[in-house]
Structure 1
Amino acid sequence: MKNSRSVIYIVLCIVNVCFSQNNSNKKPLTEIIETVEQKFDLKFSYAFDDLSSVFIEQPNPEFNLEETIEYLNSKTLLNFKILNNRYVTVSVIEKTISICGFVFASENNDPLFGASVVVNDSRKGVITNDKGKFQLNEVPLNAMITISYLGFKSQELNAKYLFSEINNCKQIVLVENKEALNEVLITKFLTTGFQKLLDGSTVLNTKAFGILPGLTDPDILQSIQVLPGVESTNESIANINVRGGTNDQNLMLWDGIKMYHSGHFFGLISAYNPNLTNKVVVSKNGTSSEYSDGVSSTINMFTKNELSGNFSGGAGANLISADVFLEIPINKKLEFHVSGRRSITDGFNTPTYDNYFDRSFQDSDIKTNSETIENQTTTSNFVFYDYTAKVLFNLNKQHKFRANVISIDNNLEYYERIANANETTSKSSNLTQNNLGFGGHWMANWNSKLSSQFSAYYSKYNVDANDYRIESDQLLTQANEVLETGFKLNTYYEVSDFLTVLNGYQFNETGILNETTVTKPSYDKTKKDVLLNHALYTQAEYNKGTTFFRIGVRANYFQKFEKLLIEPRLNVRQKLSNQFALKWEGEFKNQSATQIIDFQDDFLGVENRRWILANEKSIPISESKQGSFGFEFNQNNLNIDASGFYKTVEGITASNQGFYNNFQYNNAIGNYTVKGLEFLANKTANNYSTWLSYTYSINDYKFETFTPSAFPNNVDIRHSVSIGFNYDILENLKISVGGIWRSGQPYTSPVVGNETVESGNVTYVNYDAPNSKNLDEFKRLDASLSYKFNIYQLVNASLKIGVINITNTKNIINRYYKVNPNDSNTAIQINNTSLGLTPNVSFRVDF
């Protein structure tokens, strides 16, 4: 017993000695100062708060006073100064320091790749790497640092706390935001700023956006086309095809406002300024029951929604346009955000503008008239602009109010002059396109479990054209107008940390006007329709451990038709291991507003689409049913995602599809069915990202009244491949290279040997079997280079160079035929081509 006690005593002594030695390495600075005071018989003058949290190793006992003071200055961020033999002053040094840290998720302790680390009251910041690490140099000593990540609660820390020593960076743990159960699954996806959520949707975080091939700015609608299943058969963002659907089948929301227009330059440039657009969420299937009215996809854009308290902004320009944005705090509760962008090409032309102009107007009156009418000279002036404004007001922590406005404008003026022997005749034509939206939001937290959001909006879309025709002295006026108002009430109840229930009600009133007026002969046609829609919806979202599911249902009631549509929604993800997961998605959706396409000289031949409303007779409400099943694999920053999908859309019309075949002037109701496979492999690291995506799909129409009744869809692209590679040459120098290859688009050719047919006094092209041939394959290689640098302490700049179609490949993106004016027995082949080699340069300054 005595020996046992001796052993225990010895062990305890050893432990105590070791522990003491381990903790004696660093002592509170206040204790060290007391020892120095006694040793040298002097007094230190200091503020206790400046020293209370400082711990350092003891100075060498053999140091004299000067050596001791020099040691204290080298080991702290304080200034020790000897006044005389009796007094030493201690003050805080106003200087910059280096900070570093590691950012982790609280639940699984995984490093957060792409977390934002920002120095408050400045534009200085950095993104964490794949290990969650960050480092910033020359940070003001007393600065506050905000660390944030989508789906997690932000942290604000003092720079002193993050003061870096070699191999001793602080660990910061971010806690998941329980208000958003649908957490981030993949933190860096394709490029910095792309993230993937548990429900399969993709988030584009514009604040942290990196670089993509060919782009000089984070163009929202161009960027999402890197995703499998999302592409544009004619390179236009006004024609984004998601899983074989048409562009009008994409529900496009900007801060809750439904938008009916998406692009400048009639589709080549996104109309949404990315600088104040905080994130974009793209959902192809398994959508929340909160959303409907888009049978192909939902593209949901959100602007910055929290008060920053800092005045900041930026400005930039490229070879097409210039823009500016500002975030202006009025006081602690009120803030104002504004952005604006305008084309600069009315002042001077650039190679980029010339390529865009030729691509946009190659098949319009602007190009064809000047080529076919003798002694004619033409000039045109094209201007676009957009602006947004948002007011953010926090009444208190429980109630927040937001109000915003957005306007998108395109204006084309076209002048013709025909000089004959006897006289000179001139004419002017005009085409304007505008989408104006207003929105308001009230967000309320009633208690720790119950919250609500009330939203209301107004959206107005106009396209107007005046076309004066010299040869017939005829003025053609055309207009298409959409007016929509709506409001939505959502309530969120947090049953537990893992389960949230959403209940809501939505009301929409949509009115659409179509008008055509001709002077000679006199003709006037005006048609206006109004539709009211009520919707109730509910859903439950659960996320715990390895299981995520969201199940909901939406009931839509169309008052005019007394029609009720029930839409179930399902989204499930089950994790089988740390690397492997299965996912199921399904949804029913409807759409009451669609676009018809008229190739008969509509709107100067530039914009040939008009919005119309369903009437449940010749134009039914479109309804879609979609299901998908797939798996995800994620290990060592390698993500593999594969899904098989099946979608059918009922209630489409022939006029909605824009046929170039014998059905071009027929009216019929049909459907299309698309089935396919999407595959994406993405490998990321600290300084590079590479990806390969592949989409295989079969897309067929069926119109019972046509012969043949079934034939390939206009956007039946069987194979589509996208590859890309991003590399950080230096910390502030990045390069991106990527390519696109896809099968040729279907088209219809005339019957060989019998190319035209007469009907009365009119001759038409005699088309063969619809969409029985395919264009040559589409190939394009793009590249971008980005360089960021610091102009001043709070002013950062970036220079980006992008080149679209480096190899200048002549891609044919559409082919159709028209009767030869010189020989009515033959047809002329018309080819629309893609953009050729198109460079662009942008320069930005942020402060």
Structure 2
Amino acid sequence: MGKRIKKIAVFFSLLFFITHSIHTQDTGSQTLSQIITNIQEAYNIQFNYAEDVIKGISLKPPNKKLSLQGIVSYLENNTGLSFTLMGDNFILVKPNTERVLCGYLKGKDNLQTLPFATVQTPNSFTTSNENGFFQIKIKDEADLVTIRFLGYKTVSKPYNQFGATGCIDVYLQPDFKPLSQVIISNYIASGINKIDNGSFQIDFSNLKILPGLIDNDVLQSVQAFPGIQSVNETVSNINIRGGTHDQNLMLWDGIKMYQSGHFFGLISMYNPHITQTVSLRKNGSDVSYTDGVSGTIAMQTEPEVNQVFKGSIGANLTDVNGFADIPISASSSIQIAARKSISDFVETPTYTAFFDRISQNTEVASNTTTITNADKTFDFYDTSLRWIYNISDKDEVRVNFINVHNQLLFNENAVVNQQEESRDSKLSQNSIAGAIHYKRVWNDRFKTDLEIYETDYKLKAINVNILDSQRFLQENIVSETSTKLKVSYKLNDRLQLLNGYHFVETEVTNLDDVDNPLYRFLVSEVVRTHGVFSQLGYKTLNNQTNLNLGLRYNYIGKFGKSIWEPRLSFNHRFFNHFTLEILGEFKHQNTSQVINFQSDFLGIEKRRWQLSNDKDIPVITSKQISMGLNFNHNDWLIGIDGFYKIVNGITTQSQGFQNQYEFDKEKGSYDVTGLDILFRKHIKKFNAWLSYSYMNNRYRFKDLEADYFPSNYNISHTATMGVTYALNNLQLSGGLNWHSGKPTTHPVFGNEIIDGKINYEDTNASNLNDYLRLDASAVYNFKLGRKTRANLGISVWNILNKENEINNFYRVKDESIMETVQKSLGFTPNAVFRAYF
């Protein structure tokens, strides 16, 4: 009984003590209004504030021994308000706009803390510590906070949406992307990286500047890599390790595209302001990819929902363009981009140079002596859209749309029966495509991706002949539908399994229609392909070794043909600074571009798409292996990569012969042995690189010649040198491009014509003159306002105005030989202004 009384007494004593302490604290606190009144009387100073700013704030009065500055500091530290001394007797009180966001980063799948994640605002940057804790200063409630951690979805939202009251827990959603990471950053220049799966990536959000380019051009930029070039300076004829352009798989957010450029190849048709990254694969493709026996260029828009509106408008000497990223809700945002040529309003020196380049040696530039071409106009535009909606933490839908248009129009004028007549000839090129992607993360190990797209391409030309009262209509149409399901399963932290199914239906239509005399030739074919694939990805826990090993099975129902395609990419880092890479792949494709006649489509766009028939137009297949070694240390990068590739099923029509084989229709193959070398050095604000490529590219057409002979794309030696310099807001870049001349076939000197035909030497036994081009560019960044920035840039393509030979051919006229030489772009300036908001 006595013990119980003692416990009760102790309990009430503690209760009295706590109550007394709270009462003492309460009686020791005063409202901020009272404290300010006392300070004003004691220090003869005036406070200026809005009543609602200090309403409801109470605290202990500051120590009377403090100085006025000490009292101001005390009030700021204990109220969260800003007290600014204005002059000698006036203090301004206002809300403190600088806040601190702090918390612990955790994975939503396993609740484990995430150390060394990056946390960024427009003005600050930090990383979480080993316990996942982070703390970062916030200047404005609307400041965008971005949190990134490998293997998890990026969180990007304004500070005021975190609901921060003290330090909080922030949960990141797992993102089961392929186990890939950057192994060499700034591979050539800032924003260009090498990935451990064998691919290269250009991140346009970080890409600074490249020689001759001021507005990022997607397909011009990829030509910065060794082994990638264009024999005629166009983005519609990009050659990856000696292949033709139609052997490249072009993907825009997973949609296969059959058109590449504006101005019929001088400008990329893919708007760089909505395209965030470009991935280039020369070998070792993922098993989910089909087509592209020479390589893959995959463009990707921003994969995350944006919470804050951002946009840009700009103009250069070829077009005006705009971009907007519009948040719809916390879980949805839409991106829209558009470009339109300015040739309707003004003809700039850039436009003139481009027009002269595409029209040289064509009917557009010159007609017969009795026909005059007039009112030549060219117009292009493109629109792109990307919408993302996060249905839930596990479900995401993405919708894409793209529409691209080019049109060339001119009048043909002549005097017929003593009367002037005029008729229009025109050439149009259009692509329109749409896709829907649905991704679901079922749990921390299992994810599915469903991709469905429809892509359509149409090339149409109307060529009139006034003297013969004739209209010639040509059309080339491609329509393709694709459905792909990918299933990813994470076996453990080192192994990931990818399985899937892919169905593709491709229809190609070609039309030749003449009204006088009546003639109509229409061919429309369809090929359907089923593909099943599986790939195992392995990565060591220390990220030193990465292996992707896969197999794809394809069945082409129309031909009853089965094609097995193994794929390999292996990457191993050793001795800290060295990386060994081995890549290999088998691939196939059912479509190719051919040239029936050099005068097709007014001579400007000679190539038309066609489908394989497994007879005279075979299914194209390729085998490729490569091995590379990279050394990266102390801002030095040295890379060397050797490769061998063989491609079967090509035709003479797809290779652009303009010699004795121009009208032959034979099947054959080519093989390429080559070496790519890169040196790059970064010194403070300077970045310099030198690349060299060697290639031996040979044809084998058994029905034409018994032996191998040089390919039309055998550019044996290529060298590129570039330098960039950054000084505060100014970026400068210059570069030199050189390569040996394109192979050509000359007539035999002294015996040029036999029986009215050209007597050619051995096929491709000669070369055009070497190609040399010097380019430069400069961009200056500046602010237009508190939230608006801008840049102003100028560039010059071919500063030396060197007339490089990019092609030539011979014809017989009046029993004599006439040579036609096609020249590259001459001195071509450009300028850009762009504002970001």
Deviation at 1:435, TM superposition (A): 1.0
Residue 219 of structure 1 is matched in structure 2 by 217
Structure 1 residue 471 corresponds to structure 2 residue 461: no
* Number of equivalent positions: 763
Report the CA distance between 1:663 and its aligned residue.
Answer: 1.1
Structure 2 Cα separation of the partners of residues 76 and 783 of structure 1: 56
Do residues 500 (structure 1) and 500 (structure 2) align?
A: no
> Aligned ranges for residues 704-715 of structure 1 at < 5 Å?
704-707=702-705, 709-715=707-713
Kept in 1, the 8 Å contact 2:204–2:216? The answer is yes
Contact 1:94–1:141 under 8 Å retained in 2: no
1:755 aligns to what?
752
Alignment of 1:334 onto 2:332? yes
Residue in structure 1 matched with residue 761 of structure 2 by the alignment: 768
Match of 1:840?
Answer: 830
Query: 1:793 is matched with which residue?
Result: 786
**C-alpha displacement of 1:569:** 0.5
Partner amino acid, structure 2, of 1:589:
K
Question: 2:187, 2:408 → 1: CA distance?
Answer: 39
Distance 1:157 1:181, change over 3 A: same
How many Å apart are 1:485 and its aligned residue? Answer: 0.5
Secondary structure of 2:355's aligned partner:
helix
Whether the aligned pair in 2 keeps the contact of 1:242 and 1:296 (CA below 8 Å) is yes
Measure how far apart 1:839 and its partner are. 0.5
Partner amino acid, structure 2, of 1:266: F
Does the Cα contact within 8 Å between 1:80 and 1:89 map onto a contact in 2?
no
- For the pair 1:514 / 2:516, whether they are aligned, the reply is no
TM-score by length of 1: 0.84
Please name the residue that 1:198 is paired with.
196
Question: Residue by residue, what CA displacement relative to the aligned partner does 1:510-535 show, whole Å, maximum 9, x if unpaired?
Answer: 11111101122221111111101000
Equivalence for 2:802: 809
Cα distance change of structure 1 residues 144 and 389 upon mapping to structure 2, 3 Å threshold: closer
> What displacement does 1:142 show?
6.9
Match of 1:830 in 2: 820
Structure 2: distance between partners of 1:342 and 1:726: 30
In 1, are the aligned partners of 2:173 and 2:393 still within 8 Å (CA)?
Answer: no
Alpha-carbon spacing, 1:176–1:745, altered in 2? closer, same or farther (3 Å): farther
Contact 1:425–1:470 (8 Å) recurs in 2: yes
1:68 pairs with one of 70, 73, 79: 70
Partner of 1:739: 736
2:119/2:145 contact within 8 Å kept: no
Q: Deviation at 1:70?
A: 3.8
User: Within 5 Å, which residues of 2 pair with 1:292-371?
Assistant: 292-369=290-367
- Cα distance in structure 2, aligned partners of 1:153 and 1:398: 11
Matched residues in 2 for 1:407 and 1:47: separation? 56
When residues 295 and 377 of structure 1 are mapped into structure 2, their CA distance, relative to the original with a 3 A threshold, is: closer
Identity %: 37
1:80 offset after TM fit, Å? Answer: 6.4
Instruction: Go from structure 1 to structure 2 and tell me whether the alpha carbon gap of 1:688 and 1:147 turns closer, same or farther (over 3 Å shift).
Output: farther
From 444, 457, 461, give the equivalent of 2:457: 461
Q: Deviations over 1:338-387 (max 9, x none)?
A: 11111111221000000000111112111131xx4146242211101111
CA shift, 1:155, in A, is: 5.9
Question: Residue 145 of structure 1 corresponds to which residue in structure 2?
Answer: 145
What amino acid sits opposite 1:487 in the alignment?
A: T
For 1:365, give the aligned amino acid: E
How far is 1:627 from its partner? 0.2
Listed as ranges, the gaps of 5+ residues in structure 1 are 1-32, 53-58, 100-106, 129-135, 161-171
Q: Is the 8 A contact 2:81 2:93 kept in 1?
A: yes
1:191 alignment partner AA:
A
Answer yes or no: is the 8 Å Cα contact 1:726–1:736 preserved in 2: yes
- Partner letter of residue 830 of structure 1? T
**Normalization by structure 2: what TM-score?**
0.85
2-structure distance, mates of 1:303, 1:450: 24
Report the CA distance between 1:389 and its aligned residue.
1.6
Structure 2 contact 157–306 (Cα < 8 Å) conserved: no
SS at match of 1:792: coil
**1:674 to 2:672 alignment:** yes
Shift of 1:63: 5.5
In structure 2, the partner of 1:398 is 394
Give the Cα–Cα distance (whole angstroms) in 1 for the partners of residues 455 and 318 of structure 2.
27
Helix, strand or coil at the partner of 2:366? helix
For residues 821 and 497 of structure 2, the distance between their equivalents in structure 1, rounded to whole angstroms, comes to 53
CA distance in 2, matches of 1:125, 1:532: 53
Change (3 A) 1:126 1:813: farther
Cα pair 2:659 2:810 within 8 Å, conserved = no
How far apart are residue 391 of structure 1 and its match? 2.3
SS in 2 for 1:366: coil
| Secondary structure of 1:68 counterpart | helix
Match of 2:635 in 1: 637
Q: Measured at CA, do residues 460 and 278 of structure 1 come closer, stay the same or move farther in structure 2, by a change above 3 Å?
A: same
| Distance in 2, Cα, partners of 1:627 & 1:378 | 52
* SS across alignment from 1:553: strand
Select 2:599's aligned residue among 601, 609, 613. Answer: 601
Mean Cα displacement is larger for which, 376-385 or 661-670?
376-385
Equivalences for 1:215-254 in 2 at 5 Å?
Answer: 215-254=213-252
Aligned to 1:167: none
Q: Is the 8 A contact 1:643 1:679 kept in 2?
A: yes
Contact 2:733 2:776 in 1 (8 A): yes
CA contact (8 A) 2:720 2:735 kept: yes
Contact 2:410 2:424 in 1 (8 A): yes
Distance 2:781 2:472 in 1: 51
Is 1:434–2:430 an aligned residue pair? yes
- Aligned-pair Cα RMSD in Å: 3.6
Question: Per-residue deviation at 1:66?
Answer: 1.5
In structure 1, C-alpha distance between the alignment counterparts of 2:610 and 2:719, rounded to whole Å: 34
Q: Which residue of 2 aligns with 1:782?
A: 775
Worse-matched range after superposition: 491-500 or 374-383: 374-383
SS in 2 for 1:347: coil
Give 1:392 deviation, angstroms. Answer: 1.6
Q: For 2:115 and 2:545, locate their aligned partners in 1 and report how far apart those are by CA, in whole Å.
A: 18
Give per-residue Cα distances to partners, 1:84-106, cap 9 Å, x unaligned. xxxx999764446999xxxxxxx
Per-residue deviation, residues 319-341 of structure 1 (Å, max 9, x unmatched)? 00011111222222332221111
Paired with 2:675 and 2:36, the residues of 1 have a C-alpha distance of 74
Aligned residues of 2:464 and 2:471 also touching (Cα < 8 A): yes
Rounded to whole Å, the distance in 2 between the matches of 1:97 and 1:354 is 54
Alignment of 1:109-124 (within 5 A): 117-119=120-122
